[in-house]
């Protein structure tokens, strides 16, 4: 494990009851990277994020985040969970919500200080919602609420930002502005960013690598290796092509129809997890 690694998995496994979600995870994610956790539904993407936060115990192996065992550095991690419908009827103002990221864990009586308000304002300015500070969450669009949540995660100056499906249920313009905020965080503040995503296209311009959950095993690869039609086809369980436009933009796209001579892999992830075991020569072999 090198010093520049932000998250290090070593033979890690997670199970729920008798079911193995994934196992034999051995890889490391470098600091300053923007990675996506990709995989089909039910392969354990959110589970992986929860394990990294120390909220789910490992069934085997070890998991180190920011140099310490998972869960012990959470004060330096900004976490944006998948947004649920409950936000929609929240009467809290954007500013109040962001301030909770700064004051919410403290026991005892504490008045909110000017410095804390300034800090919250700075975070809101960064995500471009400073003018919405006094609006209630219920009055904001999904995209703006997402940026409030990111500002709340930013306000405590995290080194690592984790977002669970930040682009789900957002329209195209909101997806683009969210990606823009993430790019700015990574480039200007050098923040390591990890995103759970099922659609890679929007994120492609900023991703440096991806963790892909395949056959019940997590793997990490730099972006160039992930963008391979065969791998993505295997990963999503449906025919996928990588298309490069004349401008150099890449797209991941499903092919119009399934080829006749190919059978689809219909095993569920946890079944496949039992079938084989990759031997990893070295943690950092592919870099």
Q: Per this entry, what is the length of the chain? A: 287
One residue of 17, 108, 224, 259 binding other proteins per CB under 8 A? 108
One residue of 10, 117, 121, 136 binding other proteins per CB under 8 A? 136
Nearer residue to other proteins within complex by CB, 46 or 201: 46
Distance in angstroms between the alpha carbons of the first and the last residue of the chain: 13
Rounded to 5 degrees, φ, ψ at 76 are: -105, 15
- Interface region with other proteins, contact rule CB under 8 A, candidates 101-109, 203-211, 249-257, 278-286: 101-109
Tell me how many degrees the CA angle 103-143-254 measures, rounded to the nearest 5. 130
CA distance 83 to 203: 18
State the minimum distance, in angstroms, from the CB of residue 2 to other proteins: 26
Is there binding between residue 63 and other proteins (CB under 8 A)? no
List binders of other proteins among 109-128 (CB under 8 A): 109-110
Is there binding between residue 153 and other proteins (CB under 8 A)? yes
Is there binding between residue 103 and other proteins (CB under 8 A)? yes
Is there binding between residue 96 and other proteins (CB under 8 A)? yes
**Separation of CA 93 from chain center:** 26
Contacts of 234 (CB under 8 A, 6+ apart): 214, 265
Is there binding between residue 104 and other proteins (CB under 8 A)? yes
Nearer residue to other proteins within complex by CB, 121 or 225: 121
* Residue spans of beta strands (DSSP E) within the chain: 5-16, 19-30, 34-38, 60-65, 68-69, 77-80, 160-164, 192-196, 209-214, 217-222, 240-244, 250-254
66-95 footprint of other proteins as x/- string (CB under 8 A)? --------xx-x-xxx----x---xxxx--
For tokens 């759970």, name the residue.
196
CA distances 168 to 152, 213, 245, Å, are 19, 19, 25
Is there binding between residue 142 and other proteins (CB under 8 A)? no
Is there binding between residue 53 and other proteins (CB under 8 A)? yes
Is there binding between residue 152 and other proteins (CB under 8 A)? yes
One residue of 25, 39, 44, 101 binding other proteins per CB under 8 A? 101
Which residues are at the interface with other proteins (CB under 8 A)? 53, 55, 74-75, 77, 79-81, 86, 90-93, 96-97, 100-101, 103-110, 134, 136, 139, 152-153
């Amino acid at each position: 494990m090198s010093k520049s690694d932000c998250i290090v998995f070593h033979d890690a496994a997670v199970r729920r009851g008798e079911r193995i979600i994934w196992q034999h995870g051995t890889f490391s994610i470098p600091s300053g990277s923007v990675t996506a956790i990709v995989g089909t539904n039910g392969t354990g993407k959110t589970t992986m994020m929860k394990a990294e936060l120390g909220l789910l115990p490992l069934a085997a192996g070890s998991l180190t985040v920011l140099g310490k065992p998972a869960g012990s550095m959470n004060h330096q991690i900004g976490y944006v969970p998948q947004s649920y419908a409950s936000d929609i009827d929240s009467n809290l103002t954007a500013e109040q919500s962001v301030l909770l990221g700064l004051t919410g864990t403290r026991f005892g009586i504490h008045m909110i200080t000017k410095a804390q308000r300034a800090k919250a304002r700075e975070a809101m300015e960064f995500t471009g919602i400073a003018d919405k500070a006094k609006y209630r969450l219920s009055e904001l669009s999904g995209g703006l609420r997402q940026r409030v949540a990111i500002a709340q995660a930013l306000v405590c100056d995290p080194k690592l930002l984790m977002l669970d499906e930040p682009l789900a249920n957002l329209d195209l313009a909101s997806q683009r502005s969210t990606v823009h905020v993430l790019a700015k965080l990574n480039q200007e503040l050098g923040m390591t960013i990890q995103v759970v995503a099922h659609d890679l296209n929007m994120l492609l311009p900023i991703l440096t690598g991806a963790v892909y959950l395949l056959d019940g095993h997590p793997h990490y690869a730099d972006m160039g290796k992930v963008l391979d039609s065969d791998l993505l086809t295997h990963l999503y369980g449906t025919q996928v092509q990588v298309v490069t436009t004349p401008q150099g933009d890449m797209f991941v796209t499903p092919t119009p129809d399934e080829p006749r001579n190919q059978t689809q892999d219909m095993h569920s992830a946890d079944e496949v997890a039992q079938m084989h075991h990759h031997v990893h020569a070295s943690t950092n072999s592919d870099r």
